[in-house]
Structure 1
Amino acid sequence: MPKDNLPAPKVEAFADHHVITPPNRLRKVMRLVDENNFEDPVARAEKALAGLSDEFAKWMAIECDRLAAAHAAILKNGFAPAAHDELFRAAHDIKGGAATFGYPFAGAGAESLCRVIEHAPALDRVPAELIAYHINAIQAIVREHTSPGTEAMAKEINRKLRLVADEYLAAVNRDRPEHLEAILAPSIAPVE
């Protein structure tokens, strides 16, 4: 037996092939649950998220403040590598957490900003308004999240942001075909 006390892989030989079945290492870490006391782990996770949901608005506000601070540092000191990285990380964190926190439309705006940061040949040449529009849109979507009509407004803002960002990126990357394919790919963040 191997040193982890598991049997060797099972090998079945056939005329034209072999089937190798490795030992199931999960059996050592699995726990059998009594069917009478079964607790759904997904339901447990959803319950935990519901308990945290009061914090989501605070977390999104903190992330928006972080994004705005990164942008302010760039406006003050220019696009140093650390400032560039912080702007991207702040936008990327919003993109990744927005749907979980209940702000999917903020995620779409953050995704568009990430694309601009990622695919612009020189970030210091990106029109300052394009970055500011993205940040202002994300902040407005988060701030007005519970207001009537926000969803329709957010969809339209994100559609326009994506359109402007795509036009800009296509123009500045016309000599970089490896970027054009990624630029023209559809959004992964919900916009509808």
Structure 2
Amino acid sequence: MARRLARAEAAVADLAKSYVGWALADVDRCVAFLASAREANTAPDLPNGAVDDRIIAVQALYAIAHNIKGQGSSFGFPLMTRLGDSLCRLTRVKRPFPNADLDLVAAHLDAMRLVLSQEIRGDGGTLGDKLAQRLETLVAQAMGSEADADLIR
């Protein structure tokens, strides 16, 4: 049993070495979907139940952000999990996404890229906490009463 546990821990440690590369690739994919969202046609008068191209791009971004959120703490980057959670809260609701919200998505992705490029493990200390708190506050302001809207799933 101890041998199996040691092998499992070694396997996780090996995976952790690759985490930064994977996560950076995920952030790059999010950046591509953000660019698609910025370029997308938005249609205010779509038929009931129809979704515009911007929302489709944001839904794809949300799915990747959800993975980032789930993996960060597992590989020693809980600040990535916190940033991912904040980004998920911003992008999980089906709603119009004004350019200001897309700018906030970009700020999250910039913060994630910084954490990964500097390999900031742990919670990021006081600076990491201030950064995450600021983004969380901006997300809460952006969401307003929309927090109870239909969730993307």
TM range (shorter): 0.7 to 0.9
Give the paired residue count: 138
Deviation at 1:101, TM superposition (A): 2.3
Tell me which protein shows more strand as a share of its residues. Answer: 1
Aligned residue in 2 for 1:179: 148
Task: Give TM-score, length-normalised by structure 1.
Answer: 0.61
Q: 1:39 to 1:127 in 2, by over 3 A?
A: closer
Aligned counterpart in structure 2 of residue 60 of structure 1, from 23, 28, 42: 23
Q: Which has the larger radius of gyration?
A: 1
Task: Give TM-score, length-normalised by structure 2.
Answer: 0.74
Whichever residue aligns with residue 134 of structure 1, its letter is H
Preserved contact between residue 98 and residue 107 of structure 1 (Cα < 8 Å)? yes
Tell me which protein shows more helix as a share of its residues. Answer: 2
Secondary structure, in 3 states, of the residue corresponding to 1:100?
helix
Q: Gaps (5+ residues) in structure 2? A: 42-51
For residues 9-38 of structure 1, the C-alpha deviation after alignment (integer angstroms, 9 at most, x for no partner) is: xxxxxxxxxxxxxxxxxxxxxxxxxxxxx4
Q: Does residue 1:72 correspond to 2:35, yes or no? A: yes
Runs of 4+ in 1 over 4 A off after TM superposition: none
> Structure 1 vs Structure 2: percent identity of aligned residues?
23
Greater length-normalized contact order (CA 8 Å, ≥ 6 residues apart): 2
Aligned residue in 1 for 2:133: 159
Q: Gaps (5+ residues) in structure 1? A: 1-37, 181-192
1-side partners of 2:35 and 2:125: how far apart?
28
